[in-house]
């Protein structure tokens, strides 16, 4: 059995889908099973990573465990890692994958020290982040962003899920840290052009000043530390975020998906005439 935490999230849903595709049994952890909306064939269990005692039943018979490093709003880092790892080891877990958010976390430290073979999966920017533009594109044919010259090796979330699923179910990935990227480096203009082509209608890219972007993010309710993080990674994207690596192909045996493919799959999200 494989237990996927964060299973209702952008990446977790893809880890679940890939495990199902590989014919592996999947159990999905969520704080609210009624809202999970996971596919048939997935065993959905209730649990909260901030309260590890809620995980004991969920870990019964589990050999592969996929972990997120956060447990609250705006990705508040989990402090319960040592207990989670103890419970996993006692339950007989043989492989752990960790979805890393780009920096050290107490959960990841606990996994590395915990004695169960682990693999760290570190994605760059998700292609799914482009869904944040859906409303502006649907209602105004427009994307409003700062730092429009920034470059990104953004990765398809399905490929992150595929790398994690392989590391969870096959030998040869213990102690590895996988930086997972897409197959090309794109500017914002490349991305809006790909969405325009996929939806069959033009998309304007409007450059915001830093001050205008901060104002917009505040209006959206983002806390100051998140705004500071966005200014840092968008204003001066670290080299890892704009460099292509062949991890997806090496680990899964098939090439990483392009943003054009992602945009075609999600074209309806950007079409006013398809909106409910
Ligand atoms: N967006 C990016 O471009 C990007 C790039 C690189 C890395 N990352 C990293 O990716 C991670 C975010 O992944 P995501 O986008 O897939 O997440 P997400 O879509 O925001 O989903 C959050 C998930 O976490 C679960 N969760 C939250 N608190 C929980 C708790 N206390 N107990 C159990 N489950 C809990 C939620 O489950 P329920 O609500 O169902 O309980 C949900 O499945 C972060 O670490 C981020 O730093 C993001």
Ligand 1, from 4, 7, 9, 163: best to mutate by most atoms within 8 Å of Cβ?
A: 9
Chain segment 136-169, per-residue pLDDT in tens: 999 999 999 999 999 999 999 999 999 999 999 9
Tell whether ligand 1 has an atom less than 6 A from the beta carbon of residue 229.
no
Q: If you count DSSP H runs as helices and E runs as strands, how many of each does the chain have, helices first?
A: 10, 11
- pTM value is 0.97
pLDDT at 97: 98
Tell whether ligand 1 has an atom less than 6 A from the beta carbon of residue 46.
no
And the tokens for 33? 């099973």
Asked whether the beta carbons of 169 and 65 are under 8 A apart, the reply is no
Tell whether ligand 1 has an atom less than 6 A from the beta carbon of residue 103.
no
Asked whether the beta carbons of 54 and 30 are under 8 A apart, the reply is no
- pLDDT exceeds 80 at position 190: yes
Of the candidates 92, 87, 48, 85, which has an alpha carbon nearest to the alpha carbon of residue 70? Answer: 48
Q: Please compute the mean of the pLDDT values over residues 117-131 and round it to a whole number.
A: 98
Q: Which residue has the tokens 């997120």?
A: 68
Asked whether the beta carbons of 41 and 16 are under 8 A apart, the reply is no
- pLDDT exceeds 70 at position 216: yes
Asked whether the beta carbons of 146 and 207 are under 8 A apart, the reply is yes
Distance (angstroms) between ligand 1 centre and the Cα of 68 equals 7
Ligand 1, from 3, 4, 6: best to mutate by most atoms within 8 Å of Cβ?
A: 6
Tell whether ligand 1 has an atom less than 6 A from the beta carbon of residue 161.
no
Chain segment 8-43, per-residue pLDDT in tens: 999 999 999 999 999 999 999 999 999 999 999 999
Tell how far CA 155 is from the center of its chain: 9
> Distance between CA atoms of 88 and 98, rounded to whole angstroms?
13
Antiparallel, parallel or unpaired: β 186-187 and 204-208:
unpaired
Domains with residue ranges and CATH for the chain: 2-116 (3.40.50.720), 125-155+182-243+257-276 (3.40.50.720)
Tell whether ligand 1 has an atom less than 6 A from the beta carbon of residue 70.
yes
Distance (angstroms) between ligand 1 centre and the Cα of 201 equals 32
- Residues with Cβ within 8 Å of residue 220, at least 6 apart in sequence: none
And the tokens for 257? 């998906």
- pLDDT exceeds 70 at position 45: yes
pLDDT at 274: 65
Closest residue CA from atom 18 of ligand 1: 9
Index of the ligand 1 atom closest to the CA of residue 31: 41
Q: b vs e for 193-202, b when ≥16 Cβ sit within 10 Å of the residue's Cβ?
A: bbbbebbeee
Tell whether ligand 1 has an atom less than 6 A from the beta carbon of residue 50.
yes
Index of the ligand 1 atom closest to the CA of residue 125: 3
What's the mean per-residue pLDDT of the chain?
A: 96
CA-to-CA dists, residue 214 to 126, 128, 230, 231, 274, angstroms = 21, 21, 9, 8, 31
And the tokens for 244? 């292509």
Q: Please compute the mean of the pLDDT values over residues 191-220 and round it to a whole number.
A: 97
């Amino acid at each position: 059995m494989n237990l996927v935490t964060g299973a209702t999230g952008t990446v977790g849903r893809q880890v679940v889908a890939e495990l199902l595709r590989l014919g592996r049994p999947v159990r999905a952890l969520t704080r609210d099973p009624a809202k999970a909306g996971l596919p048939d064939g997935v065993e959905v269990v209730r649990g909260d990573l901030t309260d590890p005692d809620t995980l004991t039943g969920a870990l019964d018979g589990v050999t592969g465990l996929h972990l997120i490093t956060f447990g609250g709003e705006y990705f508040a880092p989990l402090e319960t890692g040592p207990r989670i790892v103890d419970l996993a080891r006692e339950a007989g877990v043989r492989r752990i994958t960790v979805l890393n958010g780009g920096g050290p976390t107490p959960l990841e430290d606990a996994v590395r020290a915990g004695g169960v073979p682990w693999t760290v999966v570190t994605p760059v920017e998700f292609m799914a982040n482009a869904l944040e533009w859906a409303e502006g594109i649907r209602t105004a044919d427009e994307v409003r962003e700062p730092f429009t010259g920034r470059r990104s090796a953004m990765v398809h979330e399905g490929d992150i899920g595929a790398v994690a699923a392989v590391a969870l179910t096959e030998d040869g990935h213990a102690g590895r840290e996988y930086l997972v990227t897409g197959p090309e480096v794109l500017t914002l203009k490349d991305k809006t052009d790909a969405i325009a082509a996929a939806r069959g209608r033009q998309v304007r890219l409007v450059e915001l000043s830093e001050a205008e972007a901060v104002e917009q993010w505040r209006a959206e309710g983002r806390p100051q530390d998140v705004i500071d993080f966005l200014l840092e990674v968008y204003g001066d994207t670290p080299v890892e975020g704009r460099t292509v690596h062949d991890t997806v192909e090496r680990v899964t045996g098939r090439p990483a998906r392009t943003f054009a493919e992602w945009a075609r799959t999600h074209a309806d999200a950007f079409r006013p005439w398809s909106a409910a």
